[in-house]
Amino acid sequence: MAAGAIAWPKDEELGSLGLKGLRMTLSLCYANFLLYLVLYITGMYINIYITSGVSTISIGNTLNVFHMLIGTLNFAICFIVMTVGFLYGMRRVAIFSLGAVASIIVATIGGLLFLSLGGGRATSSSLTLVGGWTMSALFMLALFLSYYATLKVMRAIRVIEAVSRAR
């Protein structure tokens, strides 16, 4: 090893992105959490105050359109983080994000099923309920998986900072 080169700890997944790139990825992850928060609140509002167990909701409902838009942005960020993980050798970040991406895709299918089959709990078929349940449960799974990916990015930053400082 060249003199002055840093010996990075081998049991940590630091990737080859560098500190600046990692910080940018972390900022994206934090932005994604804001989107998750908005997605959760709008979803909850629709669930409690619009459908309320009896009413239906159309795909063109303004709040629903906003909810879907946020979901799309959420998907895009998860996809970017996953790509970064695969391209820059951060296997765990990539796998957690891949899980989040897959969850969001299935959740979206569930959501569309819910909307296309009536979008109301009391008046629609049992498949509507399956769609709704799948959407909600997988959204939450995506949130947890994204969180673990974020933690891995954050840990890589902390390790690089600590090791560089120690040097």
Partner 1 sequence: MANLSDESEVLSRKLHNIFRLLYLQFAFYWATIAAGMFVNYYYAVPATVTPDVGSIFQQFISSVPLFAHVSFAVLSSGMSIPVIILARRVALKQVVWLHAGAITCRMVGFVAGPLFIYYSTSAVSDPFASNISTFVMASVFLMAVILSFMSRIFIVREDVRIKYVMASPYPVGVP
Residue entry with tokens 């933690």 = 151
Residue 71 engages partner 1 in binding (rule: CB under 8 A): no
18 or 53: whose CB is closer to partner 1?
53
Does residue 9 bind partner 1 (CB under 8 A)? Answer: yes
- In the complex, minimum distance from the CB of residue 44 to partner 1, in angstroms, rounded to a whole number: 5
80 contacts partner 1 (rule: CB under 8 A): no
Q: Which is nearer to partner 1, 87 or 91 (CB)?
A: 91
What residue has token string 């159309």? 58
133 lies in the binding site for partner 1 (CB under 8 A): yes
Which pairs with CB-CB distance under 8 Å and at least 24 residues apart come from 29-34? 29/77, 29/81, 29/146, 29/149, 29/150, 29/153, 30/150, 31/77, 32/74, 32/77, 32/78, 32/81, 32/146, 32/150, 33/146, 33/147, 33/150
Provide the sign of the torsion angle of the four alpha carbons 86, 91, 92, 93, taken in this order. Answer: negative
Minimum CB separation of residue 158 from partner 1 in Å reads: 4
Give the angle 57-60-64 at the CA atoms, nearest 5°: 65
105/151 with CB nearer partner 1: 151
> Out of 19, 31, 49, 59, which residue is the one contacting partner 1 (CB under 8 A)?
49
Q: Is 52 in the site for partner 1 (CB under 8 A)?
A: yes
* Binder among 38, 47, 61, 80 for partner 1 (CB under 8 A): 47
Is residue 127 a contact residue for partner 1 (CB under 8 A)? no
Q: For residue 124, what is the DSSP state?
A: S
Give alpha helix (H) positions in the chain. 18-45, 62-87, 91-116, 126-166
Enumerate binding residues for partner 1 (CB under 8 A). Answer: 1, 3, 5-7, 9-11, 37, 40-41, 44-45, 47-49, 52-53, 121-122, 129, 132-133, 136-137, 140-141, 144, 147, 151, 154-155, 158-159, 162-167
